[in-house]
């Protein structure tokens, strides 16, 4: 199927198909759902190549400069993850410091226990917990010395030489 025909099936313009293919633009949820219907597969298969999926409750909120906050009355909302992600932790973005990468109200999924594995998180967007307890969504870079990191926002000044308690890469992003 060519780009023009695919664009017609998905209800988008042909230039967007090119951007999706090159990774210059992330597939919005409505396009993933429409593609699933067109091709008869689940959204999880399109997102992760996983034929089985499950729904996981959004557990909290994470923002630009505040602690990760638990949602008081779960389940509040659910997101789809591969069935194999038994350790998935969905969080809702609060605030605009990560715009245009993440918008206020988007959902992010991280995985696993709190840990610091530099080969997993350096240069990536992560949910981090600073040594003083702040929970943030930031891109993590090396700091001025070992054990210190620079936290970057797409639209704000970096936070330099922070000690981290944990950093877990964003594994999935669901646009609001």
The parent domain of residue 90 ranges over: 53-174
Q: Do 82 and 15 have their domain in common?
A: no
Q: Do 25 and 70 have their domain in common?
A: no
Q: Record the tokens describing residue 123, joined without a space.
A: 């240069």
Q: Do 122 and 62 have their domain in common?
A: yes
- Please count the structural domains in the chain: 2
Q: DSSP label at 26?
A: P
Task: From first to last of the 176 residues of the chain, give the pLDDT tens digit.
Answer: 888 998 888 888 999 888 888 877 778 878 887 887 777 777 777 877 777 777 788 888 887 554 455 555 544 677 888 888 899 999 888 887 778 888 888 889 999 888 888 989 999 999 998 887 778 899 999 999 999 999 998 888 899 999 999 999 999 888 87
Q: Do 58 and 121 have their domain in common?
A: yes
**Spatial separation of the C-alpha atoms in residues 61 and 69, rounded to whole Å:** 5
Q: Do 62 and 27 have their domain in common?
A: no
Q: Do 35 and 58 have their domain in common?
A: no
Q: Do 27 and 62 have their domain in common?
A: no
Q: Is 82 domain-assigned?
A: yes
Q: Do 64 and 10 have their domain in common?
A: no
**Spatial separation of the C-alpha atoms in residues 43 and 36, rounded to whole Å:** 6
Q: Is 45 domain-assigned?
A: no
pTM exceeding the 0.75 threshold for the entire prediction: no
Q: Do 13 and 79 have their domain in common?
A: no
Nearest to 56 by CA among 75, 37, 40: 75
Q: How many helices (H) and strands (E) does the chain have?
A: 5, 12
């Amino acid at each position: 199927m060519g780009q023009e025909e695919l664009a017609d099936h998905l209800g988008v313009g042909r230039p967007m198909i090119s951007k999706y293919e090159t990774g210059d633009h992330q597939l919005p949820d409505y396009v993933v759902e429409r593609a699933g219907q067109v091709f008869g597969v689940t959204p999880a298969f399109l997102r992760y190549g996983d034929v089985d999926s499950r729904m996981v409750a959004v557990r909290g909120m994470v923002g630009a400069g505040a602690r990760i906050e638990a949602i008081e009355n779960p389940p509040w909302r659910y997101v789809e993850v591969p069935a194999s992600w038994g350790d998935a932790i969905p969080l809702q973005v609060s605030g605009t410091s990560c715009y245009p990468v993440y918008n206020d109200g988007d959902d992010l999924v991280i995985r696993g226990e709190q840990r610091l594995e530099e080969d997993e998180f350096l240069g990536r967007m992560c949910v981090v917990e600073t040594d003083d307890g702040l929970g943030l969504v930031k891109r993590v870079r090396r700091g001025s010395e070992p054990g210190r990191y620079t936290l970057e926002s797409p639209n704000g000044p970096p936070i330099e030489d922070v000690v981290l308690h944990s950093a877990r890469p964003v594994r999935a992003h669901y646009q609001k």
